Structure 1
Amino acid sequence: MKITSVETFLVPPRWLFCKIATDEGIVGWGEPVVEGRAETVRAAVGELSDLLLGKDPLRVEDLWQLMTKAVFYRGGPVLSSAVAGLDQALWDILGKSLGAPVHQLLGGAVRDEVRVYGWIGGDEPSAVAEAAAEQVASGLTAVKMNAAGRIGRLPGKHEVDGVVARLAAVRDVLGDERDVAVDFHGRFGVAAARRVIPELAPLHPLFVEEPVLPEYTHRLCDVVSVSPVPVACGERLYSRTDFLPALQAGIAVAQPDLSHAGGISEVRRIGALAETFDALLAPHCPLGPLALAASLQVAFATPNFLIQEQSIGIHYNTGAELLDYVLDRAPFAFPGGAIRRWEAPGLGVDIDENAVREADRAGHRWRPPVWRHDDGSFAEW
Structure 2
Amino acid sequence: MRIVDIETFQVPPRWLFVRVATDEGVVGWGEPIVEGRAEAVQATVDILAEYLVGKDPLRIADHWQVMSKSGFYRGGPVLSSAVAGLDQALWDIAGKARGVPVHELLGGPVRDRVRVYTAAHGDTPADVADHATQLVADGFTAVKVTPAGRLGFLDDRAAIRSMRELLDPLRDALGDADLAMDLHGRFSLPMARRVLPLLAEYLPLFVEEPVLPEYTVHLGRLTASTSAPIATGERLYSVGEFRLALEAGISVAQPDLSHAGGISETMRIAALASAYDVALAPHCPLGPIALASCLQIGFTVPNYLIQELPFSTYDEAGNAPYLTDPDPLRISAGHIERLTGPGLGIDIDEAAVRAAAGQPHRWRPPLWRHDDGSFAEW
Match of 2:54 in 1: 54
Match of 1:152 in 2: 152
Instruction: Provide the C-alpha distance between the structure 2 equivalents of 1:121 and 1:45, rounded to a whole number of angstroms.
Output: 34
Give the deviation of 1:131 after TM superposition. 2.0
Give the deviation of 1:237 after TM superposition. 0.2
Alignment root-mean-square deviation, CA? 1.6
Query: Does the alignment pair 1:341 with 2:311?
Result: no
Query: Does the alignment pair 1:73 with 2:73?
Result: yes
Instruction: Indicate how the Cα distance of structure 1 residues 160 and 168 shifts in structure 2: closer, same or farther if over 3 A, else same.
Output: same
Match of 2:307 in 1: 308
Match of 1:241 in 2: 240
Match of 2:104 in 1: 104
Instruction: Indicate how the Cα distance of structure 1 residues 370 and 83 shifts in structure 2: closer, same or farther if over 3 A, else same.
Output: same
Give the deviation of 1:322 after TM superposition. 7.2
Of 348, 352, 366, the residue aligned with 1:351 is 348
Match of 1:113 in 2: 113
Is the partner of 2:348 in helix, strand or coil? coil
Mark the runs of 5 or more structure 1 residues left unpaired by the alignment: none
Match of 1:207 in 2: 206
Instruction: Provide the C-alpha distance between the structure 1 equivalents of 2:179 and 2:210, rounded to a whole number of angstroms.
Output: 16
Instruction: Indicate how the Cα distance of structure 1 residues 34 and 348 shifts in structure 2: closer, same or farther if over 3 A, else same.
Output: same
Give the deviation of 1:188 after TM superposition. 0.6
Deviations 1:285-310 (A, max 9, x none): 01000000000000100000000001
Give the deviation of 1:197 after TM superposition. 1.1
Is the partner of 1:10 in helix, strand or coil? strand
Match of 1:232 in 2: 231
Instruction: Provide the C-alpha distance between the structure 2 equivalents of 1:288 and 1:343, rounded to a whole number of angstroms.
Output: 19
* Identity percentage of aligned residues: 60
Mark the runs of 5 or more structure 2 residues left unpaired by the alignment: none
Contact 1:294 1:347 in 2 (8 A): yes
Instruction: Provide the C-alpha distance between the structure 2 equivalents of 1:246 and 1:340, rounded to a whole number of angstroms.
Output: 31
Give the deviation of 1:121 after TM superposition. 3.6
Instruction: Provide the C-alpha distance between the structure 2 equivalents of 1:39 and 1:310, rounded to a whole number of angstroms.
Output: 25
Is the partner of 2:345 in helix, strand or coil? coil
Instruction: Provide the C-alpha distance between the structure 2 equivalents of 1:203 and 1:211, rounded to a whole number of angstroms.
Output: 16
Is the partner of 2:336 in helix, strand or coil? strand
Instruction: Provide the C-alpha distance between the structure 2 equivalents of 1:376 and 1:347, rounded to a whole number of angstroms.
Output: 46
Alignment of 1:72-221 (within 5 A): 72-121=72-121, 124-175=124-175, 177-221=176-220
Instruction: Please tell me the residue identity of whatever aligns with 2:212.
Output: L
Match of 1:254 in 2: 253
Instruction: Provide the C-alpha distance between the structure 2 equivalents of 1:363 and 1:77, rounded to a whole number of angstroms.
Output: 21
Q: Tell me the TM-score normalized by structure 1.
A: 0.96
Deviates further, 150-159 or 295-304:
150-159
Instruction: Indicate how the Cα distance of structure 1 residues 76 and 123 shifts in structure 2: closer, same or farther if over 3 A, else same.
Output: farther
Is the partner of 2:320 in helix, strand or coil? helix
Instruction: Provide the C-alpha distance between the structure 2 equivalents of 1:324 and 1:237, rounded to a whole number of angstroms.
Output: 28
Give the deviation of 1:119 after TM superposition. 1.3
Give the deviation of 1:219 after TM superposition. 1.0
Instruction: Provide the C-alpha distance between the structure 1 equivalents of 2:34 and 2:319, rounded to a whole number of angstroms.
Output: 16
Instruction: Provide the C-alpha distance between the structure 2 equivalents of 1:144 and 1:351, rounded to a whole number of angstroms.
Output: 29
Q: Tell me the TM-score normalized by structure 2.
A: 0.97
Instruction: Please tell me the residue identity of whatever aligns with 2:262.
Output: G
Contact 1:234 1:255 in 2 (8 A): yes
Alignment of 1:28-39 (within 5 A): 28-39=28-39
Instruction: Please tell me the residue identity of whatever aligns with 1:360.
Output: A
Match of 2:357 in 1: 360
Match of 1:370 in 2: 367
Instruction: Please tell me the residue identity of whatever aligns with 1:178.
Output: A
Match of 1:9 in 2: 9
Instruction: Provide the C-alpha distance between the structure 2 equivalents of 1:204 and 1:290, rounded to a whole number of angstroms.
Output: 32
Instruction: Indicate how the Cα distance of structure 1 residues 187 and 322 shifts in structure 2: closer, same or farther if over 3 A, else same.
Output: farther
